[in-house]
Amino acid sequence: MEQELIERFREIVGAKYAITDQTLITPYLLEERGIFHGRTPLLLRPSSPQEISLIMQLASQTRTPIVPQGGNTGLVGGQQPDERGESVLLSMERLNKIRAINLEGSFVVVEAGVILQDLQKKVDESGRFFPLSLASEGSCQIGGNLSSNAGGTAVLAYGNMRDLCLGLEVVLPDGRLLDDLRFVKKDNSGYDLKNLFIGAEGTLGIITAAVLKIFPKMKAKAIALVGLHSPENALEFLSLAQEYGGGMVTGFELMGNLSFQMALDYKMCEKSPFEQKHEWYVLMNISSLQGNDEAFSVLSIILEKALKRAVIEDAIVAQSLKQQHFFWQLREAISSAQKLAGGSIKHDIAVPLASIPDFIAKAALIVEDVAPGARVVCFGHMGDGNLHYNVTQPIGADTTAFLQLWSKMNHRIHRLVMDYQGAFSAEHGIGQLKREELRSFKSPVALDIMRGIKKTLDPLGIMNPGKVL
């Protein structure tokens, strides 16, 4: 990149926030799974939509590719520049203002660089609740959550980021600012633009701010860890829970016995809270606006009915906030725990609920066929049909050789998922990692429309190139 161009970008954000020193840039180029190794000559850290607007105007004039980045927690390489080193990396971290918390209207206005956990805390302090919750909440940013249409553990009761968003502010690839910040739930004045940018992984424009819904705070929570025999039973149990708990069922996470055991080991628990081992485990949250009595009474009704009908084998109701917290820590520890067991090939899939048992049975055969002896670590947001169906290398196997099976394994598992008309990327997006899968599994008509939209909004192709399409 020519020095003159770097100077022109520098003028927009100020010398301090236009970084060319590679030692300072490096942390922005490292990502969680270590799969992508991008390069960039220039990192920009703008502080406002107006600066981003100027950046995009200059980028358009000079056809400079721009890669926006939030908290850099994405798992598919969407936030990383490619290896050619021609893209400018644009960190959103300085757009970190919560512009408004409106209690009567039940919404907040937040900038893209606000860290999810900071937003959760501020909303909590205001007496309300912002439901989005995921393992990386301490560092991921709202802009990234929107661009990847983040899901997580609260989707069951509150929906994903798309459902939580009322409106957006976006800088378009040509630098124009789209002010589509809406404060009402109902607005049928023209095409829905918001949902184009949500989940587009920064390929259509840069989300700079959003209006997000907030909710009444639950007064109490009752949590049970449940042991059961099969995915079929887990499905029946979910159905029962929703019949008697409805919207009070705010979490329903499935864990295979291996996931559960790995999490116990990782948390250094010498023994399981259960007397016996079970094939499958469910972590269930029941939340109440009324208080403890209601939460525990509804939880009891559900557990009693499930035990009576032999849908579940055993259940432990958390007796303290500490124990509640511990149960969730176990669930959140699975990803980290898995790392200790060697290389893992990951899947982030969804299938219709009724197909989960069948999928789990058939996927196991594929795993054994592609990598005999590999260990299935299956867990996830069962209430949404969303499983992180991960495959850990056989004990003692060569990690590099095992990981070379990644594409093959993915492709076969994803083909199975598509047989059920499921999703081969349920919540992590496409990024760089799943572009081939998108071409293989998305309908040609859908791909064609996507390309048309991309061309309309980003005719020069400078907006996060090489991602999604």
Give, as ranges, the residues between 17 and 56 that touch a second copy (CB under 8 A): none
What's the CA gap between 217 and 124, in Å, rounded?
A: 8
Among 123, 142, 318, 468, binds a second copy (CB under 8 A): 468
Sort strands 206-213 and 107-111 into parallel, antiparallel or unpaired: antiparallel
Token readout for 196 is 């184009």
Q: Are 278 and 313 in contact (CB under 8 A)?
A: yes
* Secondary structure (DSSP) of 166-209: EEEEEE-TTS-EEEE----S---SS---HHHHTTSTTSS-EEEE
Q: Does 452 bind a second copy (CB under 8 A)?
A: yes
Q: Does 125 bind a second copy (CB under 8 A)?
A: no
Complex with a second copy: residue 135 or 193, whichever CB lies closer: 193
What's the CA gap between 259 and 332, in Å, rounded?
A: 11
Minimum gap (Å) between residue 11 Cβ and a second copy: 25
Which of these ranges, 41-49, 278-286, 388-396, 434-442, lies near a second copy under the rule CB under 8 A? 434-442
Q: Does 226 bind a second copy (CB under 8 A)?
A: no
Q: Are 228 and 234 in contact (CB under 8 A)?
A: yes
Q: Does 411 bind a second copy (CB under 8 A)?
A: no
Residue list 188-217, contact with a second copy (CB under 8 A):
188-193, 195-196, 198-200, 204, 215-216
- Output the CA–CA distances (angstroms, integers) from residue 392 to 213, 244, 427, in the order listed: 38, 37, 21
Which of these ranges, 24-32, 43-51, 179-187, 391-399, lies near a second copy under the rule CB under 8 A? 179-187
Which of these ranges, 262-270, 332-340, 403-411, 423-431, lies near a second copy under the rule CB under 8 A? 423-431
* # of chain residues touching a second copy (CB under 8 A): 92
Q: Which amino acid is at 205?
A: G
Q: Does 130 bind a second copy (CB under 8 A)?
A: no
Q: Are 135 and 145 in contact (CB under 8 A)?
A: no
Q: Does 222 bind a second copy (CB under 8 A)?
A: no
Which of these ranges, 18-26, 136-144, 305-313, 419-427, lies near a second copy under the rule CB under 8 A? 419-427
Residue list 280-309, contact with a second copy (CB under 8 A):
289-290, 298, 301
Q: Does 404 bind a second copy (CB under 8 A)?
A: no
Polymer length of the chain: 469
